Amino acid sequence: MAKSVLQPGAVIDGFTVGECVHSGGMATLWSVTHPGIDTPLLMKVPRVAEGEDAAAIVSFEMEQMILPKLAGPHVPASFGTGDFAHQAYVVIERIPGETLYQRLPELPLRYEEARAMVAKIAAALADLHRQNVIHHDIKPSSIMFRPSGEAVLIDYGLSCHKHLPDLLQEEFRLPYGTAPYMAPERMMGVRSDPRSDLFSLGVLLYFFTTGVRPFGESETLRGMRRRLWRDPQPPRKLRPDYPPWLQEIVLRCLEIDPVWRYPTASQLAFDLGNPDQVKLTGRSEKIRHDPLSTVWRRRFNRGVLQPQATSDVALQLASSPIVAIAIDTSEGAEQLNAALRVTAERILATLPSARLACVNVLKLGRITIDRMVDEQGNNKHIDRMVRLRHWASPLKLDANRLTVHVLEATDPAAAILEFAAVNQVDHIIIGARQDSVLRALLGSVSAKVATEANCTVTVVRPSRLAVSGAVATEAARQEAS
């Protein structure tokens, strides 16, 4: 294996090495340039020397395999890799600024700031999981933000990719990662559950809003294993003004059994984006952690957290979509709304972890200043929400699977599209307006949504009247004979 002889001015595969910008335990980072590439670049070079941890090499190999497979705003763009036979490196885009680690002295953050920030990280995680990657090392120093606001996840040395060999599978006898953030199932050797990342993000959210790490800083295996049975102190015990919705979200992320956490990062991002819609349970009210009897049951009842059969990232995501359904609450839409309900029912029946967001657009005039209160003094906004809940009630969904949203906009299609994009909606269900006069005048909302959405769209039409169907069949028969 070639020894690293990196120094400023060296040229490796066309990359000219500049200054060393960081020297860490596992790797050094150098600024590099390449003719024809305008993006600021970083070359990451592993520390490979006699007596160095073999883990550093394997982690680096994993990063070399995964980084070139990733795309999008939430990961650093990758520009080249070099292997251990010559000079091991990866060249990635240099994200300006610092990692979240720099903010630790400011903790705890204001609730609103932490909420908005963690929502962005959850959106980034959702994008990563969609690319079949579990990060496995979510912590402040793995997170940066682009100047445009998107969270960027860095450091893929412990990650696994569903379509690539997991080089770390036999590498470590002990769980490997950052102790305070590691999910309990990782102690059992489970590396295939994307919800492990949601646990780590929950640790971060807890830490950033309370200033205290929920499971301390213990690096010993014994200390780390405690989280298999011992739940953290509820944040409200540390900060009495802690919002119930935020405690609900944090403690759901920190559930010991992954089954009780959010099923996907998108659903977590959704709740962080809509705090007024978070379904509060007993979690939100806790002021002390679980009684000893519960803890002992977890500790000595072996069945509580057994390593699960391999769960599949893609399957997990596919079974837990966010479905948005656009409902027209005006008079005369009953038939269409019934058809929409039938479609929603079919989709939700097959996907028990799916959640349904009922959306209605309160159309604003383009020029006039709209009154939010009607002639009788009723609030239009609240009235619409009541109607949405009424529409959804026959579906008999758990409260944590249903949310209602009234959007105020001049352009209904644009409002629905924006809602879907912001909330990472996987599937939009929308009715097609049957009134051809109205459609000719206003244009088709469903057509615009179906054309421009970046997710699946189902356009629903009410079933035709039985009579006209029979007539059509009869006509067809006569034509055929």
Binding stretches for another protein (CB under 8 A): 1, 54, 57-58, 61, 64-65, 68, 83-85, 88, 162-167, 169-171
Min. distance of Cβ 132 from another protein in angstroms?
Answer: 9
Q: Helix axis angle, 244-253 relative to 265-273, nearest 10°?
A: 170
Helices (H), ranges, 189-319: 195-210, 221-225, 235-238, 244-253, 265-273, 282-285, 292-300, 313-318
Min. distance of Cβ 130 from another protein in angstroms?
Answer: 15
Cβ distance to another protein smaller for residue 12 or 144: 12
Cβ distance to another protein smaller for residue 94 or 162: 162
Cβ distance to another protein smaller for residue 159 or 200: 159
DSSP letter assigned to residue 373: B
Phi, psi of 382 (to 5 degrees): -65, -40
Tokens representing residue 326 in the block: 């656009």
Min. distance of Cβ 157 from another protein in angstroms?
Answer: 14
Phi, psi of 249 (to 5 degrees): -65, -45
d(CA 445, CA 449): 6
Min. distance of Cβ 7 from another protein in angstroms?
Answer: 23
Min. distance of Cβ 193 from another protein in angstroms?
Answer: 18
Cβ distance to another protein smaller for residue 85 or 466: 85
Min. distance of Cβ 65 from another protein in angstroms?
Answer: 6
Min. distance of Cβ 23 from another protein in angstroms?
Answer: 22
Cβ distance to another protein smaller for residue 162 or 289: 162
Q: Helix axis angle, 195-210 relative to 265-273, nearest 10°?
A: 30
d(CA 17, CA 13): 11
User: Which of 64, 62, 74 minimizes the C-alpha distance to 44?
Assistant: 64
Cβ distance to another protein smaller for residue 80 or 214: 80
* Coil, strand or helix at 168: coil
Cβ distance to another protein smaller for residue 54 or 372: 54
d(CA 92, CA 175): 28
DSSP letter assigned to residue 264: S
Cβ distance to another protein smaller for residue 130 or 227: 130
Cβ distance to another protein smaller for residue 61 or 426: 61
Q: Which residue has the tokens 């189902």?
A: 458
Sheet with strand 322-326: strands edge to edge:
402-409, 355-363, 322-326, 427-431, 456-460
**CB neighbour list of residue 432: distance below 8 Å, 6 or more residues apart:** 336, 444, 446, 447, 459, 460, 461
Tokens representing residue 382 in the block: 């609240």
Min. distance of Cβ 170 from another protein in angstroms?
Answer: 5
d(CA 460, CA 480): 30
d(CA 135, CA 161): 9
Min. distance of Cβ 180 from another protein in angstroms?
Answer: 27
Min. distance of Cβ 161 from another protein in angstroms?
Answer: 9
| One-letter identity of residue 60 | F
Q: Which residue has the tokens 């933000």?
A: 145
Min. distance of Cβ 13 from another protein in angstroms?
Answer: 14
Min. distance of Cβ 44 from another protein in angstroms?
Answer: 15
Cβ distance to another protein smaller for residue 161 or 286: 161
3-state class percentages of the chain: helix first, strand second, coil last, to nearest 5: 40, 15, 40
- What is Dmax (Cα atoms) for the chain? 88
Cβ distance to another protein smaller for residue 39 or 169: 169
Cβ distance to another protein smaller for residue 56 or 407: 56
Degrees (nearest 5) of the Cα angle 50, 56, 61? Answer: 115
